[in-house]
Amino acid sequence: MKKQILSVITLAALAVGVVGCKNTGATNIGPPLVRLGVSSGATYSLMKYPQAAPAVRASAAIICSQAAGTNLAPAAVVDAVNAYSQQTPESTLIVNSALSLYTLVWNGYGESVLTNAPTLRLYLGATCDGLNDALATVPAPGVVRAAAPINKNWPQVKFK
């Protein structure tokens, strides 16, 4: 649990450092970086907690539908995700971490969020895509991936 909290704090600190705290109406990161950050964090978490995949998959679908909507406020997205009642502690951690990056971008736009809805839609879409990228690495229920064959005859360095 301590590592999870440290991971979330580190991710948030990195995002604050990249986005910055100025209220300039724009951020220094683009949607591809948000997608990469969400995908990386969620992939790692899903490898550690594969049982969270169904709830994360449902949450990703909700986030994707919110990205196509008109109310892009982080609070509205969180409310929509909270309506799904099958969340687990692990899926909550994964989804909250993903949405924290979007929230930081939203806050970076400050007072100009309403005039930048098309841009923010791209960022929420990148959050959706990042979660879906991570979910693509999780095997479907009941599917067991075969281990890679081990070649025992590989050349080896020998000491004389």
**How is the chain split into domains, by residue range?**
48-138
- With contact defined as beta carbons under 8 Å apart, do 101 and 32 qualify? no
The torsion of the CA quartet 103, 105, 110, 114, rounded to 10 degrees, works out to -90
User: pTM, whole model, 2 decimals?
Assistant: 0.72
Tokens 């687990």 -> residue: 88
pLDDT digits (tens, 9 = 90+) for 47-93: 999 999 999 999 999 999 999 988 899 999 999 999 988 899 999 99
Distance CA 155, CA 10 (A): 41
